[in-house]
Amino acid sequence: MGKDLITLEHITKSYDGQVILDDLNLHIYENSFVTLLGPSGCGKTTTLRIIGGFEKPEQGRVIFDGKDITNLAPNKRQLNTVFQKYALFTHMNIEENIAFGLRIKNKPESYIKDKIKYALKLVNLEGYEKRKPDSLSGGQQQRIAIARAIVNEPKVLLLDEPLGALDLKMRQDMQYELKRLKEELGITFIYVTHDQEEALTMSDHIVVMNQGYIQQEGSPETIYNEPENAFVADFIGDSNIIRSTMIRDELVEILGSKFACVDKGFGENKPVDVVIRPEDVELVAPSEGTISGVVTGLTFKGVHYEMDVEAGGFEWLVHSTKLSEVGTQVGIKVDPYNIQIMNVPESEDEEAISETV
């Protein structure tokens, strides 16, 4: 983990009396790829805009490289933003678009020319200098917007849902391009998206947000494999989330059947939420399963089959490369390491705040 580059301290922001961010605290480290992930209205774009200087918090401070920049104008901050609507100047060619920020700073023309060449090479669009933005595809326009941002040598690049307007194939290509750029440039990326796959593919560090609170933050692997609450488990990928009873350490009762697990410290005979990923559910012969049921739905997904299994009064989602036809009687087995135990929130407020306290 690098040095602490940006710190948000006790940030609070509301619009028309509705609280969007509630005492938010966040550390962003130098040379990291941080994704703010969550549903619409969770506060992720507001957080990005506060870092960029486009919004001011009602309370709290933004610290950048040890200095308080809460009241600093956006153009005085060592960062650049790439928006979903790329905001390219349509009356200017690509060269002029990229040079715009440098000319405002009165940089020498020879310097500007070198920078344009460097930036276009970096985004794989050499030779596009004289083209107009409207002659480019969405993905190419996106690359130009990134080129225009990086020639200013920001310490941080802010990206607000920049791939939202692209089709799936182009979006996937751009995900790898952004990751490559991040490595080549060696700068900090802060990325906003509601797309879980995008976050898991690109980030070093994911911050999952909901209702103005940070629900959980950590590496993609930690967020996916060890969700701290039902919201995170449900939002990051598909999950089977089942209200269960922790009988004792390493033993949980799920839908009336006892399953071995590896979790400890939840007490005895306590209600818990259990998370089991669809790919971790193993379908076996009914006699070999911990619980038995019947396949009620089947979809072919290319890499795997997605099956619905009715068992114990719950509809399980199962991903497997082995096909079980609809109507097949099956048993369900789960490796103890793949059963994730979570505390049950005691109230709606606790559910919203979850792990922020």
What is 218-250 written as a DSSP string?
E-HHHHHHS-SSHHHHHHSS--EEEEEEEEETT
Determine contact, residues 246/269, Cβ cutoff 8 Å. yes
What is the distance between the alpha carbons of residues 235 and 334, in angstroms, rounded to a whole number?
A: 22
Among the listed residues 247, 257, 256, the one whose alpha carbon sits nearest the alpha carbon of residue 341: 247
Query: What integer pLDDT is reported at residue 166 of this predicted model?
Result: 75
| 3-state secondary structure (DSSP) of residue 300 | strand
Q: What percent of the chain has pLDDT over 90?
A: 56
Half-sphere exposure of 217 (CA within 13 A, CB side): 16
Task: Check whether 346 has a pLDDT greater than 80.
Answer: no
**pTM of the prediction?**
0.83
Query: What integer pLDDT is reported at residue 355 of this predicted model?
Result: 42
From the number of C-beta atoms within 10 Å of its C-beta (0-12, 13-18, 19+), residue 353 rates as buried
Say yes or no: domain 239-356 is CATH 2.40.50.140: yes
Tens digit of each residue's pLDDT (9 = 90 or more) over 102-144 = 888 888 889 989 989 988 988 888 888 889 988 888 888 888 8
Query: What integer pLDDT is reported at residue 208 of this predicted model?
Result: 96
Q: Dmax over Cα atoms in the chain, in whole Å? A: 78
Give domain 4-225's CATH number out of 3.40.50.1360, 1.10.645.10, 3.40.50.300, 3.40.50.10300.
3.40.50.300
Task: Locate the domains of the chain by residue range.
Answer: 4-225, 239-356
DSSP annotation of 262: -
Half-sphere exposure of 231 (CA within 13 A, CB side): 24
Tens digit of each residue's pLDDT (9 = 90 or more) over 159-194 = 988 887 677 787 888 888 888 888 888 899 999 998
Query: What integer pLDDT is reported at residue 295 of this predicted model?
Result: 97
Sheet of 291-300: strand order equals: 282-284, 329-333, 291-300, 305-311, 314-320
What is the distance between the alpha carbons of residues 331 and 163, in angstroms, rounded to a whole number?
A: 42
Tens digit of each residue's pLDDT (9 = 90 or more) over 84-93 = 666 788 888 9
